[in-house]
């Protein structure tokens, strides 16, 4: 029976100012997914974690993706999926995207690599829609492409892979939950033109800085005047962590996806670990458990670890 085992990385969406259009893959944490191609049409989902995610196919993110692939490709085969989830749901580190992207990537491999990366993203977006109510691809895309990606359009899908600068990423996940669907509901429906102009400048500056390895420009562009001021109120000690990170030498950073995780970019590993220790210390003062990760940008995205 044909099978594949995948390492599916966490991702950081938005990169501060690029709401729904920028994303970055990191090395840790990551999920492991095992997929088998079945002779029957059944789709079986199993979890080995304790997060209580549904295993009913139509209610599971990976299951939703596989159902859509089965439907649109008119498949007689089904799939069995075992998910060893280490990216905690509601962390802001692309947990649902990992399941969705892993399902699309694994199914494609089992079927003989018949789909393009863009087609895999198309199918994976149905899983994200189940999780958050919106077909967004800012986590899915770097998971499949690796590195840093720009979504020029999600309908039709138009992806621009960007340079992966030699930067270190520090991410902290305080053990509080922020649901993506909830974090979207509090966003403003209308924004001022002056704020939009400032945001466009930051996005353009960030992309230019990434492409040219201009760390100074990256730092100056990691500013969000639209989403962060609203969502940051959901994250304990956000302002303190950001201010102290910049004081330690971070280029900049902000909310990872919809939160509660926070990330910072740094030029060297020493600063990254100092930021991680500071972040954990801040959360200890208010008795909130947290997990910190230090990683470089992950240029590969999903990897096959066993066939």
Asked whether the bond before 161 is cis by omega within 30 degrees of 0, the reply is: no
**The dihedral sign for the CA sequence 290, 295, 297, 302:** negative
Catalytic residue among 57, 141, 149, 180: 180
Q: Distances from the Cα of 269 to the Cαs of 159, 166, 265, 273, 290, in angstroms?
A: 30, 11, 10, 6, 20
Nearest to 297 by CA among 172, 154, 163, 183: 163
**Alpha-carbon span 213 to 207, nearest angstrom:** 10
**149 a catalytic residue:** no
Q: What would the two tokens of residue 111 be? A: 């079927």
Q: Where are the beta strands (DSSP E) in 103-240?
A: 148-154, 157-162, 168-174
Catalytic-labelled residue, pool 11, 34, 57, 128: 128
Q: What is the DSSP letter of 10?
A: E
Tokens of residue 2, six digits: 């044909």
Instruction: Tell which residue, 147, 144, 149, 146, has the closest CA to residue 161.
Output: 149
Q: Is 306 an annotated catalytic residue?
A: no
Catalytic residue numbers read: 128, 180
């Amino acid at each position: 029976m044909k099978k594949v085992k995948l390492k599916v990385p966490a991702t950081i969406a938005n990169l501060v100012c690029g709401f729904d259009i920028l994303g970055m893959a990191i090395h840790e944490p990551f999920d492991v997914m095992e997929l088998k191609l079945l002779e029957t049409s059944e789709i079986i989902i199993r979890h080995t974690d304790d997060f209580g995610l549904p295993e009913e196919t139509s209610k599971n993110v990976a299951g939703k993706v596989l159902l859509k692939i089965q439907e649109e490709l008119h498949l007689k085969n089904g799939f069995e999926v075992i998910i060893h989830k280490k990216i905690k749901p509601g962390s802001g580190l692309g947990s649902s995207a990992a399941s969705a992207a892993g399902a699309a990537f694994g199914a494609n491999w089992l079927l003989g690599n018949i789909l393009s990366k863009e087609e895999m993203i198309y199918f994976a977006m149905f899983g994200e829609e189940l999780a958050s109510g919106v077909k967004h691809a800012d986590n899915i895309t770097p998971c499949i492409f690796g590195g840093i990606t720009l979504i020029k359009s999600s309908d039709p899908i138009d992806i621009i892979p960007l340079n992966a600068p030699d930067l270190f990423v520090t991410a902290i996940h305080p053990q509080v939950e922020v649901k993506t669907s909830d974090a979207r509901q509090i966003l403003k429906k209308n924004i001022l033109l002056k704020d939009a102009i400032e945001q466009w400048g930051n996005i353009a500056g960030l992309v230019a800085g990434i492409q040219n390895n201009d760390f100074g420009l990256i730092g100056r562009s990691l500013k969000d005047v639209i989403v962060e001021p609203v969502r940051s109120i959901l994250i304990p000690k956000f302002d303190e962590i950001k201010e102290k990170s910049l004081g330690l030498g971070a280029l900049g950073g902000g909310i990872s996806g919809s939160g509660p995780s926070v990330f910072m970019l740094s030029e060297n590993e020493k600063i990254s670990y100092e930021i991680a220790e500071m972040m954990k210390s801040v959360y200890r003062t208010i008795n909130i458990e947290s997990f910190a990760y230090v990683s470089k940008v992950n240029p590969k995205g999903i990897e096959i670890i066993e066939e």
